Structure 1
Amino acid sequence: MTAFAALGITLATFGFMEFWAWFMHKYVQHGPLWFLHRSHHVRHPHPVERNDLFFLIYGAISAALFITGDNGARWWFWVGVGIAAYGTVYFFVHDVLIHGRLRFWKKSDNTYLRALNMAHKTHHKTQGRDGSAEFGLLWVSPKYLELARKRRQKLKSEKMKTGSEMGPG
């Protein structure tokens, strides 16, 4: 397999995983597998939740593709790489940045990451199975990008105003 083909399969899989995660979240996790996902929508003192089983499921699928993929010679090895890459990004963005499950990455001032956070907060406004919105991870509705831009501009202008009032004069 050429490096170009391997990269193409990996990137296509990564992109597909965003759609797949949205679909599974909306129609399966908020549907028949709500009994597992519900733990993610309620506050609890535990570091691990039933919802984490989804991470194990996708990790197992990715591992199986690695193991049977003949060290990259077979196309499905690179599908496994794409799934693993998406899972890694998902972990850092969703679990670390948004939910703070590990405390080494504080909230970001980046407009895109703030928009992601806003969309996710909207999703968690409901604790039940029905009535949620915003099921994706990396794709953000334009309205949240606009809100994040406006909030950032407002914070900048407040900082400038406060900074100029405190200067020599």
Structure 2
Amino acid sequence: MSTGAAILIVAATFLAMEGVAWSSHKYVMHGFGWCWHRDHHEPHDKVLETNDRYALVGAAMSIAAFALGSPLVMGAKAWAPGTEIGLGILLYGIVYSLIHDGLVHQRYFHWVPRKGYARRLVQAHRLHHATIGKEGGVSFGFVFARDPAVLKQELKAQRERGIAVLREAVGD
């Protein structure tokens, strides 16, 4: 495989992982997997959350792709793009951890962005946490954030339709 093709597969996988993360967050974590995700939405003073199990699921996906792409593991049946896909998943996991756990939830470092895209990410995820329980909500992605003003309008409409219960007035 050429270097260009390998880079393209890694980049495409990274971008696709935002779709995987968005859909699994909306339909699994806020659906049948709420039992693992609930403590992420509730105040606590624990270092680890039950929700952190989802990081292990992502790591398992990456490891499985690396294994499928490894001639050492699979022999002649190695799947050519497996290593690049595993790398794309791994890179997404690192960026996710830095943005979501580090920047947004301040688990690793304390920096509150005052402007730019980093601020938009923080605002969007705080709006995600503006609801009580698993119903309703906005901003299920992790790396790409929509305009917070639009998200506030969506939350307001959900509240008016009785879909979402908000923690408090949604502000900036």
Deviates more, 1:66-75 or 1:3-12: 66-75
Aligned-CA RMSD value: 2.0
2:98 to 87, 92, 96: 92
Offset of residue 110 of structure 1 = 4.0
Q: TM-score, normalised by structure 1?
A: 0.79
**Match of residue 164 from structure 2:** none
Count of matched residue pairs:
145
% identity of equivalent residues = 39
Query: Within 2, Cα distance between the matches of 1:110 and 1:89?
Result: 19
Q: Deviations over 1:33-87 (max 9, x none)?
A: 0111111100111000011001011101211222331279821111100000000
Alignment of 1:19-168 (within 5 A): 19-70=19-70, 74-103=80-109, 105-144=110-149
Counterpart of 2:3 in structure 1: which amino acid?
A
TM-score under structure 2 length normalisation: 0.78
Structure 1 residues not aligned, in runs of 5+ = 148-169
Instruction: Tell me the secondary structure at the aligned position of residue 130 of structure 1.
Output: coil
The unaligned stretches of length 5 or more in structure 2 are: 72-77, 153-172
- Aligned equivalents of 2:101 and 2:121: distance in 1? 12
Once residues 65 and 16 of structure 1 are traced to their aligned partners in structure 2, the CA distance between those partners, rounded to angstroms, is: 14
CA–CA distance in structure 2, aligned partners of residues 21 and 107 of structure 1: 24
Q: Distance in 2 between matches of 1:58 and 1:75?
A: 18
